[in-house]
Amino acid sequence: MILTPNMRGAGFMMASMAAFTFNDVCVKLLAGTLPLMQIVFLRGILTVGMMIGLARVMGLRRLTIPRGDRWLVAGRTGAEVASMVAFLIALINMPIANVSAVMAALPLTVTLAGAVVLNEPVGWKRLSAILVGMIGVLLIVQPGGDGFNAYSLVALIAVILITAREMFTRRFSAEVPSMAVAVITALSVCAFGGIATLVTGEWAPVEPRAGALVAIAAVFIIGGYVFSIMVMRVGEIGFVAPFRYTMLIWALVLGWLVFGDWPNAFTQAGAVIVVATGVFTLYRERRVRQGDG
């Protein structure tokens, strides 16, 4: 069976969300054992080594980026590093399901940004869905309530930065190798973690369990990097973006199984609203493609 670009994009998105969530679980398990930037640095060393080996197997010998795309790659890399820091800070200070619930706003913000920045069509019905989804986000973050804290805002900052990352990726030319961008991203994240570790001076002994978790996280983050780049280069944003909600499912299940966390009623209600708006967006895309308006 030949998959359409939209179906390939949906598959890449679901694979990326699963990989990132399993990486998040490993990082959260490590949080009480190793300093955050040490985790980023050690994971980065393993990630870079494995990705360079994978790139060579795939025939990539040089990290060559076309001149016209270099500023886009630089912008994407900067947004990736900044969003990584914001997300990890939120992750180690909040239940994983709550963080992922805030991140569930991404399909909405990416769709809206695609319309504003890239002039991709968004009708009034989809725009209304985006606005309703933002109400869901407010229920998740719970401003003024017990669930609202600085780390909820940090998670929202991560949403904005990831949205910017996706816009940079969407504008890449076809000549940009996805693996080259993934390797550059891994190198940049690793370098940031190393510099931050030197600046803070925080370092802890790495026990066998911690070392194993770092290695597992590195494997999953590779999948997250590669698939997250590929997904923004195929299919339509409006079709592919809602499949990002599969991260919320993984986070709820793993948060409960591994950490015993379960979000409160307001967070659950907000997550349902956000997911429902994403499903509606997917439905509208199908209707439009079928010519039903």
**Which tokens hold the place of 135?**
């109400």
Long-range contacts of 124-131 (CB under 8 A, 24+ apart): 125/280, 125/284, 126/238, 126/280, 126/281, 126/284, 129/277, 129/280, 129/281, 129/284, 130/277
Distance (Å, rounded) from C-alpha 258 to C-alpha 188? 30
Q: How does pLDDT run across 208-264, given as a tens digit for each residue?
A: 999 999 999 999 999 888 888 888 778 777 677 777 777 877 887 888 888 887 777
Rg, the chain, Cα only: 19
* CA neighbor of 105 nearest in space, from 40, 41, 152, 56: 152
Q: How does pLDDT run across 139-195, given as a tens digit for each residue?
A: 766 655 555 577 888 999 999 999 999 899 888 998 888 888 888 988 999 999 999
Place of tokens 């969530």: 21
The percentage of the chain sitting over the pLDDT mark of 90, rounded to a whole number, equals 32
| Cα 254 to chain centroid, rounded | 17
DSSP state letters, 57-68: HTT--S----GG
List of residues 6+ apart from 132 with CB closer than 8 A? 273, 277
**Per-residue confidence band for 72, with pLDDT thresholds at 50, 70 and 90:** very high
